[in-house]
Structure 1
Amino acid sequence: MSRRPTVKDVAEAAGVSVATVSRALSGARVVRPELREVVVRTAENLGYRPHSIARALRRSRTGAIGMVVPKIENPFFPQLVGHADRVLQEHDLALLLCSSDDDPKNEAKRISILAERQIDGLLISPCSQSASAAALIDATTRMPVVQFDQRVPSVRSPFVGVDDAAGIAAVTSHLVATHRRRVAFIGADTDNWSGGRRREGFETWARSMDPSALGRMESGDFSREFGLQAAKRLLSADGDIDAIVCANDLLALGALDAATELAIDVPSRLAITGFDDINIATVSRPTLTTVRQPVAEIVETAIDILLRAINGDEDELPDVLLPVELVIRGSAP
């Protein structure tokens, strides 16, 4: 291997995840001794010689990692937070959590408070591609920062997320294959990274397959209430709509509420799809067809990259786009 081997190379050669390699090399007790032996031997064979994660943690000032999310009320983020806390516990690190409440000014204050507490690094899902930039740039001068799920592309720090456009493409392909012919879209403010990418994904499909769909689009926020109101407007204005693609599951649940209020049967008359696969998607009536984000892999990858940055490993701290999965359930079978 001509370049310096990375933790990803070790993971692929050992047949395990990047997070497992990090835990094994840091001495975390959750890794089985026989698995640790395989990882250590693989690392030695490849000549993987980074400063160890363990040394990085010993040098850390507080043993605390900060996390800022846009909206703790959105069930998607508690899933991420819960998994992050479990992973960080394996490294004997504490998680300090803040919510920006989708307000860039509030987000900047939270970042400043965390920085004053001398956290070792920051995991952040910024709420605005534009207004979050200044505070995030300042944060990168004070500590290692990894963006996840949402990002400010102008800020130079690693990003871990999913291929939003591929998720929307999977949804629209499924709807066309199941003979839906008049599709609408409900999304969020395009200054939100995920909202922008998912809207772009739908627009790309519409321009290619059904340009009239560009006139059946609503954008607001990622709330159930907006999904309800937007769906009612769309369905009242165009009685021939037979499918609604929603940019997250809360919007889709709101669209289901609208269908109930308007006495429109789902799925025989109207198909509805979401994005995220939050827990409630499996218990809604009907259950929700959606795009599943790999929560565990997002968290583990982001934390691994952050620990490498804390360790001073400047080699190959990449942006990572993870694949998504279409989950077909009752709302669009």
Structure 2
Amino acid sequence: MARRPTVRDVADAAGVSVATVSRALSGARAVKPEHRELVMRTATELGYRPHSVARALRRARTGVVGMVVPRIDNPFFPQVVSGVERALQVHDLALFLCSSDDDPDTESRRLDLLAERQVDGILVVPCTQTASAPALDATRASIPLVQVDQRATGVAAPFVGIDDAAGIAAVIGHLIATGRRRLAFVGADPENWSGGRRVAGFREWAHDNDPRAAARVALGDFSRESGRAAAHDLLSRDPEIDALVCANDLIALGALDAATELGRKVPIELAIAGFDDISVATACRPTLTTVRQPVADIVATSVATLLALIDGDDASAKETLLPVELIVRGSA
């Protein structure tokens, strides 16, 4: 056909009514199986494709899910995004991805943009615990929203993440069991949910087991350069430190850089452990001991929770914390 085929064309070719075609294409149950098969076969033969805008108006849906992440240069988030996109494809949904660049104002504008595009729902990794809350709370009042991996406090939206404190405890337990005695922590801004939970886990251990370790904490951001600078400062001020607990793998890679600069042999003189288990954790030398986040489970649970919200299942108070796994490699 020279023009784009319509529902009427499909109906005429199949010998059924336009209403039957519409119901068959929309998945309505009130269609005989043989009629549904006929309509689908005819639509395929004619090359018919539903008009997305008209379909969205009829269903009050766009078939698009929005997602906001803090950064795309942290290898952990592209891993999550890739998994989300694959999971959505199973449900014939598209992904509209935005980055907040770790800035609450940018995050707020990105959420407004997604609302203007009338996405069916939003997955968001909040960049801060408090400053992100107003925009998330305003958005979730009108659009289904799920917080992923990190959360903003006081926002009545589902959260899918991990037990950060348990991950830090596993690292510390391993380091102590292997003979390390003077531990230090290299982390990120505690206003970030993960950053705050991970440094709190270290400080809780220090309070109960080594009060002086509370002073061996350096905070920056989740980047490799920040990790290098903070670790360099800690090790220069206290050469007796024999283990660094790092809030993520990028920080740990920076700590490895600092150890090399200072001539500290890893793991003989200094143990270094990260968090997340990003792909480069096995590419560095020595390979990185780290805490593995269950990315596949985080993705599956987040998408399932959002789809349930879109379908009207009120899960506003739901919190899902998934277990982590300590991965022991060459650095500790």
TM-score range, shorter chain: 0.7 to 0.9
Q: Which whole-Å deviations, capped at 9, do the CAs of 1:57-116 have from their partners, x for residues lacking one?
A: x94510000000001110000000000000000100000000000000110111100110
Give structure 1 regions of 4+ aligned residues with deviation exceeding 4 angstroms.
none
Instruction: Check the 8 A contact 2:156/2:316 in 1, yes or no.
Output: no
Q: Which amino acid aligns with 2:279?
A: N
Q: How does 1:54-73 map to 2 (within 5 A)?
A: 59=59, 61-73=61-73
Q: 1:191 & 1:247 partners in 2: Cα distance?
A: 13
- Percentage identity across aligned positions? 63
Q: 231-240 or 133-142: which moved more?
A: 133-142
Instruction: Check the 8 A contact 2:124/2:145 in 1, yes or no.
Output: yes
- Number of residue pairs matched? 277
Q: Which whole-Å deviations, capped at 9, do the CAs of 1:206-251 have from their partners, x for residues lacking one?
A: 1111111101001111000000000000000001000000000000
Following superposition, the deviation at residue 313 of structure 1 comes to 1.1
Corresponding residue of 2:277: 277
Higher relative contact order (CA 8 A, sep 6+): 1
Corresponding residue of 1:127: 127
Q: How does 1:171-250 map to 2 (within 5 A)?
A: 171-250=171-250
Q: Which amino acid aligns with 1:130?
A: T
Corresponding residue of 1:293: 293
Following superposition, the deviation at residue 138 of structure 1 comes to 1.0
Instruction: Check the 8 A contact 1:305/1:317 in 2, yes or no.
Output: no
Q: Which amino acid aligns with 1:321?
A: L
Q: 2:316 & 2:74 partners in 1: Cα distance?
A: 32
Structure 1's unaligned 5+ residue stretches are 1-26, 28-57
Q: 2:116 & 2:101 partners in 1: Cα distance?
A: 20
Structure 2's unaligned 5+ residue stretches are 1-26, 28-57
Q: 1:128 & 1:167 partners in 2: Cα distance?
A: 20
Corresponding residue of 1:164: 164
Following superposition, the deviation at residue 263 of structure 1 comes to 1.1
Q: Which amino acid aligns with 1:268?
A: I
Instruction: Check the 8 A contact 2:158/2:315 in 1, yes or no.
Output: no
Q: Does 1:261 align with 2:275?
A: no
Corresponding residue of 1:48: none
Q: 1:230 & 1:113 partners in 2: Cα distance?
A: 36
Q: Which amino acid aligns with 1:230?
A: A
Q: Which whole-Å deviations, capped at 9, do the CAs of 1:113-167 have from their partners, x for residues lacking one?
A: 0110000000000001111111111101120000010101210000000000000
Corresponding residue of 1:311: 311
Q: TM-score, normalised by structure 2?
A: 0.82
Q: 1:287 & 1:152 partners in 2: Cα distance?
A: 33
Q: TM-score, normalised by structure 1?
A: 0.81
Corresponding residue of 1:33: none
Larger radius of gyration: 2
Q: 2:212 & 2:61 partners in 1: Cα distance?
A: 57
Q: 1:329 to 1:60 in 2, by over 3 A?
A: farther
Q: 1:253 & 1:63 partners in 2: Cα distance?
A: 40
Q: 1:211 to 1:119 in 2, by over 3 A?
A: same
- Root-mean-square deviation over aligned CA pairs: 1.4
